[in-house]
Amino acid sequence: MDKALIAMSGGVDSSAAALLMKNAGFDCIGVTMDLHNSGGETYSEKACCTASDAEDARGVCVKLGIPFYVFNMSVDFDKNVIERFVRSYETGETPNPCIDCNRCLKFGGLYRKAADLGCRYIVTGHYARVEFDKGLNRWLLKKSLNAAKDQSYVLYFLSQEQLAHTKFPLGEFADKSEVRALAEEHGLINAVKRESQDICFVPDGDYAKFIREYRAADYPEGNFVTADGNVIGRHKGVINYTIGQRKGLGISYSEPLYVLKKNVSDNTVTLGTERELYSDSLTARDFNWIMYPKPPEKPIEVAVRTRYHAKETSAVAATNGDGTVTIRFAEPQRAISAGQAVVLYSGDTVVGGGIIC
């Protein structure tokens, strides 16, 4: 019997994934990551966490009759998620901490712990699918059948080895209501639990305040400038702004202004009009090709998503000599932000993805 480690957040999705894997005949172990050093014991079936989410996960495991562990991963979380989040804002980028958490913790540290426990698979409640293509001789990452919940965008970094040992049971469900109904049918305690929408370490959404407190530092004011360098006001520190932002600028101008760029080197924030927000191309670094064993030598036609919930647009992607990828859009795209992920698709299959420069 194959052994599977179920990454459990305490929500209905990961709990349903555990249920499905157990019903499919897998020898399951439920695991919750303690990301905030809240006191969970490590490698103990009696482990508990003061966080209610960990308690919910434990309750589900008791219901299913499977072992439950809490792994203290707070040091890794601080180093690979929070520190990267803060540093990205400090360097003028707009990060996606959920991608870093998935890459470094769930499919990094937790993936290695699964191997230590003799698990063949790691399982999460993500809405995505994994398939092996015999023609390509490649493991492929595909969109969920539930288009509204598809999470393939935040999983673009997965390697062939990881894909071969990962299962996403919820990818085959066309509607979230089916998942809740399944959980309720089997008496899972979190069948109707609300979904979490906020960044877990910034629950009030005030990321600038979080960064100041995390660093125990203030960030200097500087100049708002136009694209041609004219000073038109003062900003409150570059960490307070994101590309495309309009509200909260405190600038009176002849037409609405938006944040176009953040320049840390001279501590300026460039403002411009709506039409100046659009770009016809971008360059991405740290690119991971899933469909190809090596970067394609010729430009390829793809569909592109530049933000998690952005609509896809047609584009041509070409690999550069330094390993970066240049993507040229069929139509200009709004508010392209350095630090965000760009993910390429061919139909329902992820071609690859990287970080916008």
DSSP 40: P
pLDDT in tens, 107-159: 999 999 999 999 999 999 999 999 999 999 999 999 999 999 999 999 999 99
Tens-digit pLDDT profile for residues 187-238? 998 888 887 766 888 878 899 999 999 999 999 999 999 999 999 999 999 9
Fold of 219-272: SH3 type barrels. (2.30.30)
Question: What tokens appear for 271 in the block?
Answer: 């403002």
Q: Measured between alpha carbons, how far is 196 from 269 in angstroms, rounded to an integer?
A: 32
User: Hey, what long-range contacts does 198-206 have (CB within 8 A, 24 or more apart)?
Assistant: 199/85, 199/97, 199/98, 200/35, 201/35, 201/36, 201/81, 201/82, 201/85, 201/97
- If we measure between CA atoms, which residue out of 67, 27, 338, 11 comes closest to residue 189? 11
101 assigned to active site: yes
Asked whether the whole model's pTM tops 0.85, one would answer yes
CATH architecture of the domain with range 3-185: 3-Layer(aba) Sandwich (3.40)
Contact assessment for residue 93 and residue 263, using Cβ atoms and an 8 Å cutoff: no
- Within this chain, domains 219-272 and 279-356 share the same CATH topology: no
Tens-digit pLDDT string for the chain (357 aa): 899 999 999 999 999 999 999 999 999 999 999 988 755 444 334 333 346 788 999 999 999 999 999 999 999 999 999 999 999 999 999 999 999 999 999 999 999 999 999 999 999 999 999 999 999 999 999 999 999 999 999 999 999 999 999 999 999 999 999 999 999 999 998 888 887 766 888 878 899 999 999 999 999 999 999 999 999 999 999 999 999 999 999 998 989 999 999 999 999 999 999 999 999 999 999 999 999 999 999 999 999 999 998 999 999 999 999 999 999 999 999 999 999 999 999 999 999 999 999
Q: Which sequence spans correspond to the domains of the chain? A: 3-185, 219-272, 279-356
**Candidate list 48, 98, 200, 357, residue with the active-site label:** 200
Select which of 61, 101, 104, 119 is catalytic.
101
CATH of domain 279-356: 2.40.30.10
